[in-house]
Amino acid sequence: MTLFAADWLNWARDNRWQVTFNNRCGFKGDSDTPEEQDTQRTMRWLRESGRPAEERTLSPTATTSRRQTTSIFTRENMARTLVDIVSKNGNFLLDTGLAYNGSIPQIMQKGLLDTGKWIKSHGEGIFTTRYWRVMPGNDPLSYTTTRDVFYIQHLGAPLSTLCIADPVPYFPGDKVTVVGGKNHGKPVPVTWNGIGTLKLGQRDDIPNQGR
């Protein structure tokens, strides 16, 4: 690694650029790169996790053509995977295998475009956030943070009352609002009787989709 990267690293240092390497360069590097692996715990060591767009079990390369479309990632699957990986200190690498003529199959385009619409609406809780060091969320809950905001991610249709037993940093008087969708910014009813007792009431005007 030092042979091919020496000039680049020296240039970056002189120009005050930060450089990171993954573990595929031969050394441990700054991040791990597991393929097709799920983890139930938060990784203190940054990781990159890859997923193919068309199926979970096989990882096609950029030049692979696949005709099977039964297991293509849907918006819900891709959004759930993205949130889960980011909340555990990872980067989501999505492989979109091409058709024989170099095009992206229509069904994959739909999944990607639908996911993009979801991300555009809900990206506030994903981009420029960090993982919560205390603990990872238990499905279907995931957590991300910024300096001023704590995000509770719930994908799918919650019950009328969402009970959160994890010790999330809520204090009486904190403002809890919807992120994304037509009700972005609207307040959410809250009940709290101490650590591990947070209950979020579902607003009647919030649609049953990713929150």
Q: Which two tokens stand for residue 33?
A: 């790169």
More confident residue, 92 or 191: 191
Host domain of residue 37:
2-125
Looking up tokens 């385009």 gives 109
8 Å CB contact between 118 and 124: no
Q: Which of 122, 128, 111, 123 is nearest to 181 (CA)?
A: 122
Does residue 162 lie in a domain region? no
The string of pLDDT tens digits covering residues 148-178 is 999 999 877 767 888 999 999 999 999 999 9
CA 41 to chain centre: 14
- What SS3 class is residue 119? helix
Sign of CA dihedral 81, 83, 89, 93: positive
Q: What is the pLDDT of residue 35?
A: 55
Does residue 94 lie in a domain region? yes
Between CA 204 and CA 31 the distance in angstroms is 43
More confident residue, 30 or 130: 130
Between CA 203 and CA 185 the distance in angstroms is 12
Between CA 211 and CA 191 the distance in angstroms is 19
- What SS3 class is residue 77? helix
Does residue 49 lie in a domain region? yes
Work out the number of other CB atoms within 10 angstroms of the CB of residue 75: 19
With residue 101 as reference, give the H or E element that holds it.
none
**The total number of structural domains that make up the chain:** 1
Whole-structure pTM over 0.75, yes or no? no
Strand duo 150-154 + 190-191: pairing: unpaired
Does residue 121 lie in a domain region? yes
Does residue 52 lie in a domain region? yes
Does residue 167 lie in a domain region? no
With residue 2 as reference, give the H or E element that holds it.
helix 2-14
Q: Which residues contact 173 (CB under 8 A, 6 or more apart)?
A: none
The string of pLDDT tens digits covering residues 100-147 is 888 888 888 888 899 999 999 999 999 999 999 998 888 789 999 999
Q: Which of 132, 42, 139 is nearest to 88 (CA)?
A: 42
Does residue 203 lie in a domain region? no
Does residue 148 lie in a domain region? no
Helix axes 106-122, 75-86, angle to 10 degrees: 50
Peptide bond into 172 cis (omega under 30): no
Q: What is the pLDDT of residue 34?
A: 60
